[in-house]
Structure 1
Amino acid sequence: MCSLRTASVFSLLENINWKLFKNKGVHVTRLETLKLLSKEPHLSDKDYAYQAKLDALRTVNLCNEQQVVKDLVLKKEDNVFYTGAAGTGKSILLRSIISDLRKKYGKSSVAVTAMTGIAAINIGGQTLHSFAGFTPQSSLMNIESLHKHLNRSRRIVKRWMKIKALVIDEVSMLDAELFDRLNHVVKNIRCDTRPFGGLQLIITGDFCQLPPVNKVLNYCFEAESWNSLNHAIQLTTVHRQSEQEFIKMLNEIRFGTMSEKTIETINNLDKAPEYKNDGIDVSSEDWEPKNYGQLRSLIKGCLAPLKLPLKINAQVMLTKNFTKQLVNGSKGVVVGWFSIPSMKFYDEHDEVPSDDVTFVLPVVKFTNGQIKIIPWTEWTLRDETDHVVARRIQIPLILSWAISIHKSQGQTLERVKVDLNKVFERGQTYVALSRATSLNSLQVLNFSRDKVITEERVKIFYDLLTKFSGNDVS
């Protein structure tokens, strides 16, 4: 097993550059991959995942209800919330809307945000907290102090003044208080008393998924500012025609109205799908497998771990954008090593390595078939004035034999093993099962009726959406 050690968070490599890997001492082990180095760009958070899907968008025809939503956004310029169950095309519609909004207003005039990092990457944006300038300390401030705090940052003020539209994905995790605070902040910064300072809002997500992580649970639709939306629309057309039975079962689990047939079917999913060494275990918490040969430990906390234990055939996940096709969340398997015998990669606190020390970079084969060398990259921690206060250099990978259900929201997984033993949250079972693409790719352990936890307020909200004509609450 190879352990790649982290360098000093302050002292190493002011700028990561591919020229670093063209030193005379570089040679290739096991794979002829040197030619890749002259072609690959430097890792960049600006290399958004949505670009990998733009070509597909050109050939996708939206259904009638999707086109209605898009017309309300692009032609009428209304504030729109739309929702829907798994398979109703929420994501493809959102990417289409974002693409056309950027053509209409300009890329820098459309703020694309989501409540989780993976969801943000999937739509080519950033987290709402990051864009808004909110920090953990912000939540402790009263609204007047928050106004003063944000207005002191020219960068944040300029950002809010420049945009014309605000997109928010994964709205189930946006609580009412934060939504209202955001409204007050934007009106204050833009000196505009209209809701959200006159910005156009496009909000999407499924309130049946994971709720906000708060002591007091208040959904976004319970906020005073929710009335600033002109339309609330529920998508109902299922586009995954080959998985009608699976989608029907997911809808029953979504609202906790499971038939005996659904319960029996899921209980029979306790056998593993076909094994190809690339499945993902999803559980209610990050767990530590016992099998040392497969994985010594799961890395918790920072996405740039202190030590990254790797071996051939280890399953890994990217934690930074790499190319348009390989982004944060892309999964693969370690298939080899790229040797750098001449690299002196240490800081003043480390013992100086001897001349026979060989540094290596992992070579990963991803699920889309691409094989890439994964270089070191840099994580930075900035304060509220945008100054860098810490850096860490590490390989942008984490082990991915298993992830928590909370971390899985926003991902689609080809083969999934779900352990529901410690489910504790509303929507958790629904999120876990709906990560799979089909029944044939899903294994479920410890399922029972009481593992499906739902929220009555969410049921009432969706009942109202269905009740009103055209599924449009305005």
Structure 2
Amino acid sequence: MPDLKALFNEVEYSRQNIFLQGQAGSGKSTFIHYLKTNSNKRLALTSPTAVAALNIDGVSLHSFFKLPLSDFFVFDEILKTPRKRLKSMLAKIDLIVIDEISMVRADMLDIIDLLCKQAKSSSKPFGGIQMLLVGDLCQLPPVIKSNTYEICEQFYGSRRAYFFDSQAFKEGRFKTIELSKVYRQEDEGLLENLIKIRDAINLQSAVSYFNTCKIKDSSILESALLITPYNKVVDEVNEKRLALLSSPSKTYVSKTSGSFDQSLNTPAPKVLTLKVGALVIFNKNNATTWINGTSGIVEDLEEDVVVVRILQGNKIVKVAREEWTSYSYELDSSGALKEKEMGKFTQFPLQLGYALSIHKAQGKTLDKVIIDINKGAFAHGQLYVALSRTRRKEDIHLMRDISTKDVIMDARVVRFLRECREVIDVDSLF
């Protein structure tokens, strides 16, 4: 099987458009960082949301292409708007990377293709710019508003309108490569049954396997993170559990500098209220001590330090404020493409760790979880995302038995992946 170098070479030494698919924990983000560090190509790193872009030191698609926030893009209106700066930048770009591609709608990929063609005065797919699409179609899908179902059906034959439904993807002759090695789970039984859920095969067997994780000891409720599809439940649980602590609270307000957009989600709470004894999770990787999703208990609250006892290993750490930097791309005085720092968001890399939405759990490796789908999963990939957050089966706890009806995997996604799957083993990369 080809190794990491072969995957890197596939991108670096060809003009081939690639869809890099990998299940949860397979090293997709690691490869993006490796590519950025080692590539000699002039590349732009992008993602459908600003928060996701921060994770790869990139920019949002809306920011990069100057796209309006729209439920469905009106191509003619967008194309008639002059974009001289974008045209100048695209002339200098060899490769555009789009992370979290599963969340990109078909009309967004189509307008990106048209803007690239317009800027490069070329009829080639994406104006001849190489594209690398990275993500996991079995995780959370694009958000499609009900008021656009009809037009999505009309343009793309489906109300869901995934990126692979786009004309741009079909014309782009993308090669699909799948990362085969999973680094989050070392438990072969867990991994095998996650694949069954993900690929919608042998579901009864997988459901029976996970139903052995139903909560047997209520004490687990004190130390494990509840994950649920519902934001309202998350807010209620976190507020109630914090209020039960008798210790005084301390509030930390985030700081921003430059042009950091706080209008939407931020990578950490804008206002963080904690108490000694509170359960927290980290929301940013540390080089040596914790990762995004590590759980801990607050031991002390100081002005510039939060002292946390990490649950795995009972290690005491002093947590300082962290910075998240937003970027844009521009041409310098010599006409070369450069990444420009736009602004910073500063806050402790912590949030209350009693409950978290499945949507926000995507991308995190969690220590212990309680999965609450008492009202049922309601979207493609939700149960798979919830079940795939931990390293070990014994760290998964179900509030109730699950059934095959809880496994919502879009048949079109499963069929698409089966039709275009080429597996690549990049074990030697890591």
Q: Does 1:434 align with 2:377?
A: no
Structure 1 residue 190, shift from structure 2 partner = 3.5
Structure 1 residue 465, shift from structure 2 partner = 2.1
Q: Distance in 1 between matches of 2:392 and 2:112?
A: 38
Q: TM-score, normalised by structure 1?
A: 0.66
Alpha-carbon contact 1:129-1:135 (below 8 Å) kept = yes
Q: Does 1:203 align with 2:133?
A: yes
2:90 to 135, 147, 160: 160
The Cα offsets for residues 269-295 of structure 1, whole Å up to 9 and x where unpaired, read as: 123799697642211112112443159
Q: Distance in 2 between matches of 1:244 and 1:69?
A: 25
CA separation of 1:336 and 1:167: change in aligned 2, threshold 3 A = same
What is the SS of the residue equivalent to 2:186? helix
Structure 1 residue 124, shift from structure 2 partner = 3.0
The residue that corresponds to 1:189 in the other structure is: 119
Equivalent pairs: percent with the same residue?
A: 30
The worse-fitting range, judged by mean Cα deviation, of 222-231 and 429-438 is 222-231
Q: Does 1:283 align with 2:247?
A: no
The Cα offsets for residues 91-120 of structure 1, whole Å up to 9 and x where unpaired, read as: 44343333322xx13xxx321122345543
The residue that corresponds to 1:413 in the other structure is: 366
Q: Distance in 2 between matches of 1:366 and 1:144?
A: 56
What is the SS of the residue equivalent to 1:217? coil
Q: Distance in 1 between matches of 2:283 and 2:358?
A: 17
The Cα offsets for residues 122-164 of structure 1, whole Å up to 9 and x where unpaired, read as: 3332333333332315x56622332344616x3x455434332
The Cα offsets for residues 423-473 of structure 1, whole Å up to 9 and x where unpaired, read as: 10011101111111121221122322211011111121122124xxx569x
Q: TM-score, normalised by structure 2?
A: 0.72
Q: What are the residue-to-residue correspondences of 1:176-325 with 2, within 5 Å?
A: 176-215=106-145, 216-227=159-170, 228-237=172-181, 242-271=186-215, 279-286=224-231, 287=233, 288-289=236-237, 290-291=240-241, 292-293=243-244, 303=266, 307-316=271-280
Unaligned runs of 5+ in 1: 1-62, 339-359, 383-390
Structure 1 residue 260, shift from structure 2 partner = 3.9
CA separation of 1:448 and 1:80: change in aligned 2, threshold 3 A = same
Q: Distance in 2 between matches of 1:408 and 1:317?
A: 11
Alpha-carbon contact 2:73-2:107 (below 8 Å) kept = no
The residue that corresponds to 1:173 in the other structure is: 103
Q: Distance in 2 between matches of 1:316 and 1:149?
A: 46
The residue type equivalent to 1:414 in the other structure is D
Unaligned runs of 5+ in 2: 146-158, 250-262, 329-343, 425-430
Q: Distance in 1 between matches of 2:294 and 2:91?
A: 34
Alpha-carbon contact 2:180-2:423 (below 8 Å) kept = no
The residue type equivalent to 2:61 in the other structure is L
The residue type equivalent to 1:335 in the other structure is E
The residue that corresponds to 2:34 in the other structure is: 96
1:459 to 414, 417, 420: 414
The Cα offsets for residues 364-415 of structure 1, whole Å up to 9 and x where unpaired, read as: 438596422338x8999x9xxxxxxxx9997675423211111111222122
Q: Specify the structure having the higher radius of gyration (Cα).
A: 1
What is the SS of the residue equivalent to 2:413? helix
1:334 to 298, 305, 320: 298
Structure 1 residue 73, shift from structure 2 partner = 0.7
Q: Does 1:111 align with 2:52?
A: no
What is the SS of the residue equivalent to 1:426? coil
The residue type equivalent to 1:402 in the other structure is A
The residue that corresponds to 2:11 in the other structure is: 73
RMSD: 3.9
Q: Distance in 1 between matches of 2:393 and 2:294?
A: 22
Q: What are the residue-to-residue correspondences of 1:327-406 with 2, within 5 Å?
A: 332-338=296-302, 360-361=303-304, 363-365=306-308, 367=310, 370-374=317-321, 397-406=350-359
The residue that corresponds to 2:65 in the other structure is: 132
1:143 to 52, 75, 80: 75
CA separation of 1:70 and 1:174: change in aligned 2, threshold 3 A = same
- Paired residues in the alignment total 366
The Cα offsets for residues 198-232 of structure 1, whole Å up to 9 and x where unpaired, read as: 22111121211111110331111111111314411
